[in-house]
Structure 1
Amino acid sequence: MTPQPDPETGAAVKAADRAHVFHSWSAQELIDPLPVAGAEGSYFWDYDGKRYLDFTSGLVYTNIGYQHPKVVAAIQEQAAHLTTFAPAFAIETRSEAARLIAERTPGDLDKIFFTNGGADAVEHAVRMARLHTGRPKVLSAYRSYHGGTQQAVNITGDPRRWASDSATAGVVHFWAPFLYRSRFYAETEEQECARALEHLETTIAFEGPSTIAAIILETVPGTAGIMLPPPGYLAGVRELCDKYGIVFVLDEVMAGFGRTGKWFAADLYDVTPDLLTFAKGVNSGYVPLGGVAISGAVAETFAKRPYPGGLTYSGHPLACAAAVATINVMAEEGVVENAARLGSEVVAPALRELAERHPCVGEVRGVGLFWAVELVKNRETREPLVPYNAAGEANAPMTAFGSAVKAGGVWPFINMNRTHVVPPCNVSEGELKEGLAVLDAALTVADEYAEQTSR
C-alpha cells in the first residue's frame, strides 16, 4: 500500500493525543509520539506519508506483521457471530484456541488459563505456584522483565521495578548467566553455567527451600538484552526445582510463538516448566490476549479445590478467534521456519560482519528473529556506550543512533545501550536486508562515540 500524505489529520491526531492520552513509562511533557496513519505487513507510516520498516514488531508482538488478511477476517467473522461472552461458558473459539496452544506447548502443559496479557499471566502463574506449594517466596533474575502490574513489576529485574518496589512482595532476585557481562568471573560458557547454577542453589539454601514457591525465568530474556542461556542452564534449574519442590515458571510472553525459530523457546533447550506464560505473539497482538499453560501436577491441585482467580474477559471470543487464525496462519505459511532460517542465514552473518567493522559494537547475540546488538565505548573494557539506565544528555549517543536509524526509514527497538533486531517473523529476506543496511549506516554515527580498539 502506498501511503497518502494527510498532514492536517495527523496534526489533529497529535493534538488530541497530547491533550488526553497518558502514555506508559513516560514523563508526559517530554515525549513526542509519532502519529501513525496505517500499517501493513512489516511496515507502518505516518500522516506525512513517510514509511518505516518496523524492526520492533510493535513491542515484539506483531509476529505475523500488521493487518494479516486472514486474521482480520477471522476477527470480523467472530464479531458477526458472537462478539463477547462470559468466561464460565464453553465457547467454540475459546476451546479451539486452547487446544491449538496446548498442542504446541512442551510436555504436559495441556491446560490453558486465559488472561488479557502477559503481566496478568505472570500474576496468575505466581498465584498458582504459591497455592500449589503453600510457600510465599518467588525467585527471579536481575536483567529481566515480567510485566507492569504490581506483582509482575516486583518480579522484574530491571529499573522499571524501582519506583514500585517496597521489598514486601516476597520476591528475591538472583544473577542468571550472561557470559559477556559475567557476574561469576567466568571465561567460558561451561564455567558461566556451572557458577550460575551454584549461585542459584546457594540462594535457595540461604533463603530456605521450604519458603520458595517458584523460580521464574524468561526462557530467553527480551527487553533486558536477549541473552541466550548457556547449554545446560535451564535443565539445571529444572533439576534444582525438582530437588527442592519448587515450581519452575518460564515466561515466554516475548520469546514464544515463533520468535526464536521455535513455537516456544523452551524447545531450544529441551526443557519443560511447570507453568509457562504467554501473550504477544499468540495472536500477533491483534486483540489483547495472554495466558498460562499449566502442567498436570499443578492443574490437579485445583481439580476439586476452586482456583481463586479469574478475569471478566478471560478467553475473550474476539481475542481467541485472532489466536486461532494466527496459529493457523503461522503453520500454513511456515512462519516459525521462516524466523529460524532468516535468523541463521541472514541476521547472524550480517550482524557478525557489522561487529567486525564497527568499533561501537561489543557483541551481537540472538536466535531466530530475536537479536541484540550491544553498543560499547570500548570493546576491550566492554564499557557500555551509555551508562546503565541513562537519560537526558547521558543518553545522547543512543539518541543520535536512533535518529539515524529512523532517518533511514527503519523504526528501531532501543533499550539502554542496545538495539534489538526483532522484525515480524514473516518478514521477507529483502525487507530484512533493507533494515540491516540502514542499521549498518546508522552504526557509523554510534562509532563516533566509541574508542578505536582492535577486534
Structure 2
Amino acid sequence: MSIHIQNKSKQQVEEYIDNVLALIAKQEVTKEEARWVTEETVNGFREHVNPGFLAYRKTVTEGGQFAAVEWSDEGACFTDINGKKYIDCLGGFGIYNVGHRHPKVVKAVTDQLQRQALHSQDLLDPLRAMLAKILADITPGDLKYAFFTNSGTESVEAALKIAKMASDRSTFIATTRAFHGKSLGSLSGTAKGMFRKPFLPLIPGFRHVPFGDIEMMRKTFESCALVGEDVAGVILEPIQGEGGIIIPPVNYLKEVRELCNEYGAVLIFDEVQTGMGRTGKMFAAELFDVEPDIICLAKAFGGGVMPAGAVVANEKVFKHLFDNPFMHTTTFGGNPLACAAAIATIGVLLEEELPERAAKVGEYFLNGLREAAKGHEDKVFEIRGQGLMIGIEFHQDEIGYEVSKGMFDKGILVAGTLINSKTIRIEPALTISYEEVDTVIKTFQEVLASVSMQ
C-alpha cells in the first residue's frame, strides 16, 4: 500500500525533492530550468509562503508575469536565476559587511562542517568559549561575557531579560522610530505602530520618548522614580536604522549614559545593524565614546554565511545568570557552524581593515549621492549617513519607491518597498569597490532625473 502525504504520493514528493536537490548541486542552470525555478518560486510564495510578498516587492512585476529570483552571490553583488547581476546596496539590511560568501568565512564553516555541525548541549563546546574571548577583547569598555543567539530579535530579548535580572525592575525606556525586532519583548521596544497594534497589549513597562531628546529622557526617568516604577534599562540604537538612518545629536548618548549611571539603570545598545564595522568603527558605541552595559549583535555577525547573533555584557549585569545559566537558553545559539563563521568574520574585518574602509568609502559615497541629487530638491529632502549606512529621504513615499524600483531595473538593489520607501537605505558590503560606488551614484542620478513628481 503506497503512502500518501496530503494530496501527493510519497513518490511524487520524493521526485520533487530530488529535482530541487539536483538544482542546488548545479553550477549553472539552463533557460528551461530557470523558467521552472521562477514559476515554482512565484507559485510557492502565492500558495504556500505568503502572497502578500508578491504584492509589495519591487522584484515582481504587476500580475506576477516576471519575477527576479536570487540564485547566487559573490563580493558586493548577487545574480538572479536568469544570470542578471545586481550590485547589492541593500545587503540584507546590513548582513554582508564582509561581502557575499567571503572565502575565509565559507572555509571556516565548511571546515567545521566536516567535523561537527551542532553541539551536544551537554559537553563544553570550544568555539563558543573562543568566540566569547574574542568579543571580550574587541568590544568597548569592560564588556566581558557573551550569550549567543540566532538573530537580532533574539539578542534583544536576551538583553532585556538580563537587564531585568540585574536590576529587579521592569520599566524600560525606548525611543520613537526605534526598531528592535518583532518577537514580543523586542516588539515592545520597537516604536512602529503598524507592527505593534495587532499584538497589543505588549510586554508592560515600556515607555517611548523621542530619539535625541535628552530632556524628555531625563523627565521620564524622574517620573518613573516618583511613581515607584524605577527604570531597569534604556535600549537604543546608536544610529537608528529602520527609523531612516537617524544620527543622534552631539553628546546625546553620553548624556543617556550619565542618566543611567545616576538612576542605576542598564544601558543597552542595539548594534544589530550598526555593529561589525558598518559605521566606520567596529561598533558605533566607539563613534560616540560611550560604553554600554550590554551590546546586541546579529545580522553581519555571521559573515553573511550563517545566522548568528550575540549579547555581550559586563560582569555587573551578567553575573546574575551565574547561579543558574539555564534561566535563558537557546538550542541553536552559539552552535559550532555559527561560531566558526563569526570568528572568521571578525578576522576578516580586522585583517582587511573594513571598518576604516567603511568610513572612507562611506564619505565618498555620501558626497557623490548628494552631488547627484542637486537640482532635485523637490524630490529629495535629505541624504545622510555614517560610514556605509546611508539614508536617502524623499518628500513623498511614492518617489522613493519609483527611485528604488528604477534602480533595481538597472541592476542596483536598495531598500524600498511599496509600503516603506520615504527613506531608502543604502547598506552595501564594506568591500564594495569605488567603481561599483560610481555605478550606483550614476544610476541614482539617471533614475532620479527620470522620475516625475506625483
TM range (shorter): 0.7 to 0.9
Aligned-pair distance for 1:248?
A: 0.7
Aligned to 2:9: none
Aligned to 1:406: 408
Q: 1:203 aligns with which of 220, 234, 244?
A: 220
For the Cα contact (< 8 Å) 2:302–2:345, is it kept in 1?
A: yes
Aligned to 1:278: 297
Q: What's the secondary structure of 1:148's corresponding residue?
A: coil
The 1:38–1:307 alpha-carbon spacing in structure 2 relative to 1, beyond 3 Å, is: same
- State the distance in 2 between where 1:293 and 1:73 align: 26
* Count of residue pairs brought into register by the alignment: 410
For the Cα contact (< 8 Å) 2:383–2:392, is it kept in 1?
A: yes
Q: 2:201 aligns with which of 166, 191, 201?
A: 166
Aligned-pair distance for 1:304?
A: 3.0
Q: 1:430 aligns with which of 426, 432, 435?
A: 435
For the Cα contact (< 8 Å) 2:98–2:304, is it kept in 1?
A: no
Aligned to 2:365: 347
Deviations 1:280-308 (A, max 9, x none): 11122311111100112112223335451
- State the distance in 2 between where 1:28 and 1:230 align: 36
Deviations 1:155-188 (A, max 9, x none): 11123223223254332211112xxxxxxxxxxx
Aligned-pair distance for 1:211?
A: 3.1
Aligned-pair distance for 1:220?
A: 0.8
Aligned-pair distance for 1:19?
A: 4.2
Identity rate, percent: 31
For the Cα contact (< 8 Å) 2:185–2:203, is it kept in 1?
A: no
The 1:210–1:15 alpha-carbon spacing in structure 2 relative to 1, beyond 3 Å, is: same
- Amino acid aligned to 2:429: P
Q: Which moved more, 1:167-176 or 1:6-15?
A: 6-15
Superposition map of 1:41-60 within 5 A? 41-60=75-94
Aligned to 2:450: 445
Q: Which runs of 5+ in 2 are unaligned?
A: 1-26, 61-66
Q: What's the secondary structure of 1:214's corresponding residue?
A: strand
Q: What's the secondary structure of 2:394's corresponding residue?
A: strand
For the Cα contact (< 8 Å) 2:152–2:309, is it kept in 1?
A: yes
Superposition map of 1:37-436 within 5 A? 37-158=71-192, 159-177=194-212, 196-208=213-225, 210-306=229-325, 308-344=327-363, 346-359=364-377, 360-376=379-395, 385-386=396-397, 395=398, 397-414=399-416, 415-436=420-441
Q: Which moved more, 1:407-416 or 1:117-126?
A: 407-416
For the Cα contact (< 8 Å) 1:118–1:147, is it kept in 2?
A: yes
Aligned-pair distance for 1:320?
A: 0.5
- Amino acid aligned to 2:347: N
The 1:205–1:52 alpha-carbon spacing in structure 2 relative to 1, beyond 3 Å, is: same
- State the distance in 2 between where 1:417 and 1:403 align: 13
- State the distance in 2 between where 1:322 and 1:356 align: 42
For the Cα contact (< 8 Å) 1:10–1:35, is it kept in 2?
A: no
For the Cα contact (< 8 Å) 2:166–2:320, is it kept in 1?
A: yes
Aligned to 1:392: none
Superposition map of 1:5-20 within 5 A? 6-20=30-44
- State the distance in 2 between where 1:5 and 1:308 align: 48
For the Cα contact (< 8 Å) 1:87–1:316, is it kept in 2?
A: no
Q: Which runs of 5+ in 1 are unaligned?
A: 178-195, 377-384, 387-394, 451-455
Q: Provide the alpha-carbon RMSD of the alignment.
A: 2.0
- State the distance in 2 between where 1:285 and 1:211 align: 39
- State the distance in 1 between where 2:149 and 2:360 align: 32
Aligned to 2:4: none
